[in-house]
Structure 1
Amino acid sequence: MEKSLKKRILNKEDLVAYAFLLPAILFFGTFVFFPILKGLYNSFFNYTWREFTFIGLDNYKALIQDEIFLKSLKNTLLIVAVAVPFIIVFSLSVSLLIYRLRSGTRSFFRAVFYLPVVTGSVAVTVVWRWIYDPYSGVLNYILKTLGIIDDNIIWLGDSKFAIFCIIAVLLTTSVGQPIILYIASLGNIDKSYIEAAKVDGANSWQVFRNIKWPLLMPTTLYIVVISTINSFQIFSLIQLLTSGGPNYSTSTVMYLVYEKAFKLGQFGYAAAMGVVLAFFIGLFSILQFKFFGKEVSY
């Protein structure tokens, strides 16, 4: 009798829990899961404004031979390869320095680094467009004043510099959240571990390597995965600063999906690009979980 009563209570609690989860489940299914399946389905069709014809794997075969897509994929991988390690190293280094400061000073620097995150991307882009302006931009002015360059550089119009200019803007808007997370994680480390290590004669590097870094690994794993996904999906900076130019030197897969779908009406082809992008994001995430997850307790 008691077991039956306990079972009924548990079932009732499960129903209440699922009732609270239902709005989130419906939202996820409607706006995330269903679009994923729909995009995968559309990738097997020649789907345009006027046509919807099944073509199998032809879209994927075309991607392999599409020089613009391959160039955009290369740009995307370059952004990820440069941005993610920099975000981790810079955020962790700054967090270690900020954490040593007094509470008020620490809060000030946290606000400074987090400000670009909460600022609208359009406002940030306007500031950077002025910085990169070839005639009145502050970057050319500073470099000429220091004698580093003689003539103005068209930063966003030169394929040698444009992609790295985009990465620089991405970095300024991507380090705020990791710094906040790292500072919070440093505050959760039991100080008795550090004190015991120092009593045993450990120096600052040994304390960091053997105590702080392993305990920061769950936060690092989260930051690595989220930063990778955000870097793969970079779009608004590309659209607002360069529109993929010059000569697709700053085009990314995400921007090309937008261009093919909403400018040219090639929805099936764009869906195939989206599937490939999702594959790379999933692949990188799995590798990151395998590499960083060894030291993380789930």
Structure 2
Amino acid sequence: MKRLVFAFAGMAATGAAMYFVVYLYRWQWQRAVLCGVLLLVVEVLLLGLMLMGRLARIEERVRDTDRRQREAVDRQEDVLARLQRGTRGQETTDRFRWLDEPAERTYVFVPVLMVTGVLLSGIAWLVQRIATRAARPAERHMAGRLAVLSAPDPAAGSDLDDVPPPGGRRTKGGTARLAITGVVGSALLTALIVALADLTQTRAEADDPSEATSVLVRLDVRDQSMTAERRALAARQMWEGCRGSTYVALHKATFGHLGDGLYAGVVRPALTENDRFRLRGCLEDASLERVHLTVVGMDDTEAYQQ
């Protein structure tokens, strides 16, 4: 599903970018702005999808890291418990063997020896407690180091299942394909840049010997109930609005109705090729409510020779 969305968004972005360049070339600014806005929307959508996918992968990695940490702590506690059980098992209970000797033997200073034994036992017990307290951090540290060597829990699964397979070395064929793809992509990008630079380059235009340029346009109306006067007024409004789109100021630009939705305009001086693009783009891009103009033809009128 995600791949389908990415493919659809990629095609939409490509189409919007292509029409954006086409409308810029045709001097149709409103359509170019709409395509640019659509391109930005699609790019933001793609960026959002990429960020959502990256956040999902980060969350998955965080959960996997937490699981591994919990397993490591459990192993450490298990090894620590084993070490403590082994240490307690090695402890001997016969700390005062002289008390188990035969009763036939008698000592002169039995009371003194008993008191001394009690004191020594107390000191030994105190030393043992201190040693036990001091040895616990060392045991925990040792358990943490030995947890790596302990066997994993069969119920939790093996860590080897999550380890990705080792990537093989890139073959010569893969390197060649990558190099060819890079060269072809660079060539296409360079050709696109050169073509756009050639199309958008401003060049000095030669003087047109023609006297004027005639423009034939057709008025398309969605509301058929609109009267002829309203249609003529709308056509003249769009014509007057596009007189300032050319490089040469159009001081003389007559406009009249020919019938059947056709209108003719004559502009003086004659328009250059670049000004024709500008005027055509403005007329076809400009629109009023439910009214649209289409340029049917545009031609020069030669000067009258007496």
TM-score range normalised by the length of the shorter chain: under 0.3
Taking structure 1 as the reference length, the TM-score comes to 0.19
* Structure richer in helix, relative to its length: 1
Larger relative contact order (CA 8 Å, sep ≥ 6): 1
* Structure richer in strand, relative to its length: 2
